[in-house]
Amino acid sequence: MCVTAVESRPAGALGTNRRQSHRPFGARVMAFVALTKPRIIELLLITTVPVMFLAQQGVPDLGLVLITCLAGYLSAGGANALNMYIDRDIDALMDRTAQRPLVTGMVSPRECLAFGIALAIASTLLFGLAVNWLSAWLALGALLFYVVVYTMILKRRTAQNIVWGGIAGCMPVLIGWSAVTNSVSWASVILFLVIFFWTPPHYWPLSMKVKEDYARVGVPMLPVIASNKVVARQIVLYSWVMVAVSLLLTPLGYTGWFYTVVALATGGWWLWEAHALQSRAKAQVTGAKLKEMRLFHWSITYVSLLFVAVAVDPFVR
C-alpha cells in the first residue's frame, strides 16, 4: 500500500485568490469543458460508434448514434470531472496537470463536484429514456467504477491501478452494442477485452515519460516502482494478448476478411514497436533515446484504425 503525502494547503487553491476576481465568462466556459477531458472522450467515442455499425451489420439509426454519443460524452465527462475533484491535491503538484481548472482556480472544487454529479445524472436519464436502460446502467457502472474503484481505491495504492481501472474505459464497447440491440453479445465482450489488454501498454509508455511526476506525489504507476526493462516486458506481454484477442472476431463469425487484414497489419506493427521499446529498455537506453512515446502515439492510431475496420467490415463481407 502506498501512502501519499501532499501539501496541506487546500486543494484547488493555487492561484485562487489571485484569479477568482478575474475569471472571464469565455474562459470559465472553456474551463468547464476542460473538466470533461474532451481528448480522452474522443477515444471513447471511437470505440462506441463502430461497434454500433457491427451490431447493426450496417448503418444504425443516425439519431440513435447521436443520442448515444451525447449521453456517452456526458457520462464520461461527469466521471472525468469527479476524477479531477478527487485528484485536485496531486494535480496541483504535477507538471502535466498544473493547468487543470481546479489548480488554476478557474473552477472551484464545489463547482466541479456539482458539475460532475449533474452530468452523471443527466447522462443516466438520457441513456435510459432515449436509448435503453441497459445502456444507462452500463454507463453509470463505468462512471462509478472509474471514480470509486480506480480514482479513490486503486490509483494511489497499487501498480495495477491502470490495469483494473481500465475496465471503465472498456465499457463504451458494451454500451455501443447494447444501444443497438438492448443486449450484450460475445462480439462486444471480445472487443471489451481488446480495450482491456490495450489500456496498460497504451498508458505505461506515457507513464514512463512522466514517471517523475507520479513519483513526486506517491502514485505507484508501474514505471515508478519498476525498471524500464520490467515495464517494457509487461508491455510486450499485454500487447501479444491484445493482438491475439483482436483476431478472435473472425473465426467466431462476427467479422470478415477486411477486419482480419487490418487487425493483422496494425497488430503486427504494434508488436514491432513494443519489441523495439523492449530492446531499447534491455540496452538500458534512457531519456529521449528510449522513444517510449512512439508506442503511446501509435496506440491511439492502432485503436482508431482497428475500430474503423470494425465499422467498415459489415459493408465489404
Q: Could you tell me how far CA 43 lies from the centroid of its own chain?
A: 7
Q: Which residues of 168-198 are buried (b: 16+ CB within 10 A; e: fewer)?
A: bbbbbbbbbbbbbbeebeebbebbbbbbbbb
Alpha carbon distances (Å) from 170 to 5, 176, 192, 229, 299? 31, 11, 5, 27, 15
The whole model's pTM is what? 0.90
CATH architecture assignment, domain 31-181: Orthogonal Bundle (1.10)
- Inform me whether the pLDDT recorded for 214 exceeds 90: yes
The residues, ordered by sequence, that sit 6+ positions from 106 with a Cβ below 8 Å of its Cβ are: 19, 23, 27, 28, 31
d(CA 11, CA 4): 14
Looking at the chain, the domain(s) classified CATH 1.20.120 span 185-316
Nearest Cα to 84, choosing from 40, 53, 126, 54?
40
d(CA 72, CA 75): 5
The pLDDT score that the predictor gives to residue 22 is 67
Mean pLDDT computed over 202-225:
94
- Inform me whether the pLDDT recorded for 1 exceeds 70: no
d(CA 259, CA 317): 9
- Inform me whether the pLDDT recorded for 18 exceeds 50: no
* DSSP, res 127: I
More confident residue, 96 or 48: 48
Render pLDDT for 90-143 as a digit per residue (tens, 0 to 9): 999 999 899 999 999 999 999 999 999 999 999 999 999 999 999 999 999 999
Domain at 185-316, CATH from 1.10.3470, 2.60.40, 1.20.950, 1.20.120 = 1.20.120
The pLDDT score that the predictor gives to residue 23 is 76
Under the banding of pLDDT at 50, 70 and 90, the label for residue 265 is very high
Under the banding of pLDDT at 50, 70 and 90, the label for residue 213 is very high
- Inform me whether the pLDDT recorded for 229 exceeds 90: yes
The pLDDT score that the predictor gives to residue 136 is 98
Reduced to 3 states (helix: H, G, I; strand: E, B; else coil), residue 20 is: coil
The pLDDT score that the predictor gives to residue 19 is 47
Q: Which residue pairs, CB below 8 angstroms and at least 24 apart, start in 275-278?
A: 275/236, 277/205, 277/232, 277/235, 278/229, 278/232, 278/233, 278/235, 278/236
Reduced to 3 states (helix: H, G, I; strand: E, B; else coil), residue 146 is: helix
d(CA 302, CA 260): 14
More confident residue, 5 or 76: 76
- Inform me whether the pLDDT recorded for 15 exceeds 80: no
Reduced to 3 states (helix: H, G, I; strand: E, B; else coil), residue 36 is: coil
